[in-house]
Amino acid sequence: MNIGYARVSTIDQNLDLQLDTLKKIDCKKIFTDKVSGVKEERKGLQEALEYAREGDCLVVYKLDRLARSLKQLVKLINILAEKKVAFRSLNENIDTSSTSGKLVFHIFASIAEFERDIIRDRTKAGLAAARARGRQGGTSWVECDNNQLTGNNSIKRPNNCYVEGLSDQKKKSFVDNLAKKASCCMSYN
């Protein structure tokens, strides 16, 4: 039986493409996570591993949906192999039910980790170049005039409040999240 596993890194991202693809190849059960792949503790993945039985195949849309490091990926594949559960990655066309599939898996896993390291290096270089030009990265900030806090520690919507460098939708989301964290009712208009 095919068992699907889909993951996105944040709650703002969408699982639809992965879920549609897993359903097309007849996955009888699909487990999901909305958490970074770097995190070892993923409830959906743990449930998929517990659910899988000998002869089953754990299917993912793309190799990096299962794990973000070679070490983590190999560890998970070994857990599956001990249970006699195959692994299949649709995007890379990897299927560990065969000897050649196992070889291809290890080659692609190494390439995926290499690609992730290159992206990390490029990001660091880009941030350093931006800093050298006087740009400071980090979280966008909210600037408000008037008093934000009242005596009862609730946030009131100030007359002039803006979030630098964000689209209107992201501004609304940012301010709404800020309001939720402050446990009050504040919205962006």
CB 47 within 8 Å of CB 72: no
CA angle in degrees (0–180, nearest 5) for 169-173-179: 145
β strands within 65-117, DSSP E: 86-89, 94-95
Structure tokens at 55: 């002869």
Q: Which of 9, 69, 154, 173 is catalytic?
A: 9
Nearest to 96 by CA among 108, 83, 86: 86
Q: Is 187 a catalytic residue?
A: no
Q: Euclidean distance between the first and final Cα of the chain, in Å?
A: 50
Which residues are part of the catalytic machinery? 9
